[in-house]
Amino acid sequence: MSFDLNCPVCLQPLQGDLKHLECPERHSYDAAKQGYWNLLLANQKRSKDPGDNAAMVLARRQFLALGYYQQLADTIATRLAKRATDLVTPRILDMGCGEGYYTQRMEQQLELHASGYQLAGLDISKHAIKAACRQSKAVTWMVASGARMPVADASLDLMTVLFSRLMPEEFSRTLKPGAELLIAYPGDDHLIELRTQIYDEVRHSGFTPESVLADTFEHLATETISYQFTLPTPAQIDQLLAMTPHGWRITQAARERLAELQQLELTLDVRLASFRRI
Ligand SMILES: C[S@@+](CC[C@H](N)C(=O)[O-])C[C@H]1O[C@@H](n2cnc3c(N)ncnc32)[C@H](O)[C@@H]1O
Ligand SMILES: [Zn+2]
């Protein structure tokens, strides 16, 4: 089942088949050969190649494939599927889905527990969406801007935003009143052992989604997902570093310090917060 999309130019419904879509005003779109839709307009790009670049996507894909975040992904996917079971033909969007690691797990859980659902993954990075196409054929993948999504007003039943930017106005426009928004973001202790190695002073982000979303969302609950895992080789420590923003900020001295480590025990500390569109 594919997702109902709207034209990014005029926001009217797109119709067609798996290869071609067109709106009533004859704006038309062809599916890329990998199967995704490119619905990002040139004037929505702030740079030539927006979002995560090819190297960042590859680093994330390689690290996630090691399986250390699987327990996290399974918890998120289970929570999402549980909410979807109570809904009739739910339309679900994973905003900022990256290379689709979590989206694909959601699809597996939805398949087991929900019916009549439509699941889409949206990201502004074409490198991420190209990689996502290899994860699942059952998800509608699109390159689009989260700040102006090609979906109708009040048409979504559930949205997930995992480690991606919150865009409250557009989330409010597209979610139905009463619909749920599920967001994941790092807790204060997330990868604390790595951050301690990198920074002289470890800072907390101070991020409070409750305040960012307060105008149009009611905060329902925040769950902490926390466990330890050990990276057993310097190569895997490197792979984690390449995936995180710390990898771009690290000094040469800290990089050399880290390179000495033969293994690294780490804390995963993630907040999973749910909100209801008022
Ligand atoms: C930290 S990654 C998270 C990816 C994925 N959710 C995960 O957890 O593996 C953030 C993602 O947001 C995307 N992104 C950045 N700005 C965006 C925008 N304006 N609209 C949609 N996606 C955006 C990036 O390309 C990147 O894939
Ligand atoms: Zn149109």
Q: What is the pLDDT of residues 88-123, one digit of tens each?
A: 999 999 999 999 999 999 999 999 999 999 999 999
- CB of 128 within 6 A of ligand 1: the answer is yes
> Tokens standing for 35?
């199967």
Q: What pLDDT was estimated at residue 1?
A: 56
Give me the architecture of the 15-277 domain, per CATH. Answer: 3-Layer(aba) Sandwich (3.40)
Supply the residue whose CA is at minimum distance from atom 9 of ligand 1: 98
How many of the other CB atoms lie within 10 Å of CB of 110?
23
The per-residue DSSP string of 39-101 comes to: ---GGG-SSSS-SS-HHHHHHHHHHHTTSTTHHHHHHHHHHHHHHHHTSSS-EEEEET-TTSH
Residue 163 binned pLDDT confidence (cut-offs 50, 70, 90): very high
Band (pLDDT 50/70/90 cuts) for residue 172 is very high
pTM of the shown model: 0.97
Q: Is the pLDDT of residue 236 over 70?
A: yes
Give the closest ligand to the alpha carbon of residue 64: 1
CA distance 27 to 21: 8
Q: Which atom of ligand 1 is nearest to the CA of 184?
A: 8
Closest ligand (CA of 12):
2
**Could you give the 3-state DSSP secondary structure of residue 164?**
coil
Q: Is the CB of 40 under 6 A from ligand 1?
A: no
